[in-house]
Amino acid sequence: MAPLSRLTKGPAKGSGLGLAISYSLIRQMQGTITLQSGVGRGTQFVIYLPELPAAGESG
C-alpha cells in the first residue's frame, strides 16, 4: 500500500478516499447515505444517522 502522501494529485484533486471513508463510517454507525445528481444541478449527498438516547436513558 502506498503512503497517502504519494497519492496526492495536486491542487483541486484528491486521493479519492473521502467518499469511501465517509461511507464506511456511516455504515459503522448504522446509518445510510444517498445521493442525487444531475447535469447542471450538481450533486447532493444526504446522510441519515440513528438518534442516540438521551443521557440517562437505557437503549
Interacting residues of 34 by C-beta distance below 8 A, sequence separation 6+: 45, 46, 48
37 is a domain residue: yes
Cα within 13 Å of Cα(26), Cβ side: 15
On the 0-12 / 13-18 / 19+ scale of CB atoms within 10 A, 53 is exposed
2 is a domain residue: no
57 is a domain residue: no
Q: Is the pTM of this model over 0.85?
A: no
12 is a domain residue: no
> Can you list the positions of beta strands (E) in the chain?
32-38, 42-48
Domain count, the chain: 1
16 is a domain residue: no
14 is a domain residue: no
| Amino acid, single-letter form, for residue 3 | P
φ and ψ at 11, to 5 degrees? -60, 140
List the domain range (segments joined by +) for residue 39.
24-50
45 is a domain residue: yes
pLDDT tens per residue across all 59 residues of the chain: 445 555 555 666 666 678 889 999 999 999 999 999 999 999 999 999 999 888 877 65
46 is a domain residue: yes
